[in-house]
């Protein structure tokens, strides 16, 4: 078994709370020395929390009577031991939970037949972290250079944090988030009224090169998104369309100006 496999297994066990106190303490020392690994652990814990929030209620629903009846043997057959009935009932409950979880997943990823899009993912991610009072970002603004270098390395292309002070929004910091297709960089900004904006960037699939702006409203969050040189960008916030478009053009112009001339 490779060293990477061991790390991945240890990381998953840590995120699931399955390590012994001694192993957990030792692994936390490893995380303290490796910010990237610590970010992975935090992201796995968040995803696990989302799954539990969505599935725990389903897993604790009463077992349907029809499944209990199906697990019982016909009267003409020899009596089945109680432990076997319990096993069958547990298996049936697991099947119900998995089916319910899959349907819940479809409900999250799909609304009225529309697949999850970059705009929708950006809005959901914005809503999740913008509402976090204590730790909305992993790396704070005073360490902007380290943040940008870290995200650039993880995404595989040059990542930049635009300066939005001219429109009243100061950089709070940023983090790495998990997208459906690609890892995504998130930069968060805040104004004096504590309103927050997020700019998310990720690598797009080959062939996606349209640079035009598109606007969408997802769950009450406005999103302006565009693709530039195989990179997708999404600016999200609870602003009206005109304000978001103005800031989006500022972001676009700064990113374009920072690109090396060919």
Looking at the structure, do residues 30 and 97 belong to the same domain, yes or no? yes
CA atoms within 13 A on the CB side of 173: 17
**SS3 labels along 122-142:** HHHHHHHHHCCCCCCCCEEHH
Looking at the structure, do residues 215 and 178 belong to the same domain, yes or no? yes
Contact status, residue 170 vs residue 199, Cβ threshold 8 Å: no
Domain ends where: 111, 140, 161? 111
Looking at the structure, do residues 100 and 170 belong to the same domain, yes or no? no
Domain ends where: 95, 111, 127? 111
Looking at the structure, do residues 42 and 85 belong to the same domain, yes or no? yes
| 225, β-bridge pairs | 214, 234
Looking at the structure, do residues 124 and 230 belong to the same domain, yes or no? yes
The DSSP H or E segment spanning 236 is: strand 231-237
Looking at the structure, do residues 132 and 239 belong to the same domain, yes or no? yes
Looking at the structure, do residues 26 and 44 belong to the same domain, yes or no? yes
Q: Report the C-alpha gap between 182 and 33 in whole angstroms.
A: 25
Look up the domain containing 85 and give its range: 3-111
- What is the number of structural domains in the chain? 2
Two structure tokens written together for 256? 């374009």
Contacts of 214 (CB under 8 A, 6+ apart): 119, 224, 225, 226
Q: What is the pLDDT along the chain (262 residues), one digit of tens a residue?
A: 455 556 777 777 787 777 888 888 888 888 888 888 888 888 777 766 666 655 555 555 565 565 556 555 555 445 555 545 555 555 555 444 544 443 344 334 434 444 468 888 899 899 999 999 889 999 999 999 999 999 999 998 999 999 999 999 999 999 999 865 678 999 999 999 999 999 999 988 766 555 568 899 988 899 999 988 778 999 999 999 999 999 999 999 999 888 765 5
Q: Which of 46, 52, 54 is nearest to 186 (CA)?
A: 46
pLDDT at residue 204, rounded to an integer? 80
pTM: 0.57
Helix (H, G, I), strand (E, B), or coil: what is residue 157? coil
Looking at the structure, do residues 107 and 122 belong to the same domain, yes or no? no
The model's pLDDT over 115-156, given as tens digits with 9 standing for 90+, comes to 468 888 899 899 999 999 889 999 999 999 999 999 999 998
CA 126 to chain centre: 10
Looking at the structure, do residues 76 and 184 belong to the same domain, yes or no? no
Q: What is the DSSP letter of 115?
A: E
Domain ends where: 111, 140, 170? 111
Looking at the structure, do residues 92 and 125 belong to the same domain, yes or no? no
Phi-psi region of 182 (alpha: psi -120 to 50; beta: other; left: phi over 0): beta
Q: What is the average pLDDT score of the chain?
A: 77
Looking at the structure, do residues 80 and 131 belong to the same domain, yes or no? no
Q: Which of 20, 117, 97, 14 is nearest to 56 (CA)?
A: 97
Tokens 């635009």 belong to residue:
162
Contact status, residue 4 vs residue 137, Cβ threshold 8 Å: no
Looking at the structure, do residues 63 and 192 belong to the same domain, yes or no? no
């Amino acid at each position: 078994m490779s060293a990477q496999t061991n790390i991945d297994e240890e990381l998953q066990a840590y995120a699931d709370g399955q390590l012994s106190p001694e192993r957990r303490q030792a692994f936390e020392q490893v995380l303290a020395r490796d910010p990237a690994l610590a970010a992975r652990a935090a992201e796995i814990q968040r995803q696990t929390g989302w799954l539990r929030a969505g599935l725990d209620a389903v897993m604790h629903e009463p077992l349907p009577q029809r499944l209990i009846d199906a697990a019982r043997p016909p009267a003409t057959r020899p009596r089945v031991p109680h432990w076997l009935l319990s096993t069958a009932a547990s298996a049936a409950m697991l099947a119900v939970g998995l089916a319910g979880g899959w349907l819940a997943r479809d409900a999250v990823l799909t609304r009225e037949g529309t697949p999850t899009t970059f705009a929708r993912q950006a809005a959901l991610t914005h809503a999740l972290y913008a509402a976090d009072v204590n730790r909305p970002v992993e790396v704070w603004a005073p360490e902007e250079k380290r943040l940008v270098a870290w995200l650039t390395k993880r995404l595989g292309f040059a990542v930049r944090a635009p300066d939005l002070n001219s429109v009243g929004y100061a950089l709070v910091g940023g983090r790495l988030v998990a997208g459906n297709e690609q890892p995504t960089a998130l930069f968060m900004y805040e104004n004096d009224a504590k309103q927050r904006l997020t700019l998310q960037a990720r690598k797009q699939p080959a062939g996606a090169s349209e640079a035009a702006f598109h606007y969408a409203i997802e769950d009450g969050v406005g999103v302006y998104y565009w693709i530039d040189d195989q990179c997708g960008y999404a600016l999200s916030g609870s602003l009206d369309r005109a304000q978001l478009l103005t800031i989006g053009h500022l972001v676009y112009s700064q990113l374009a100006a920072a690109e090396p001339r060919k």
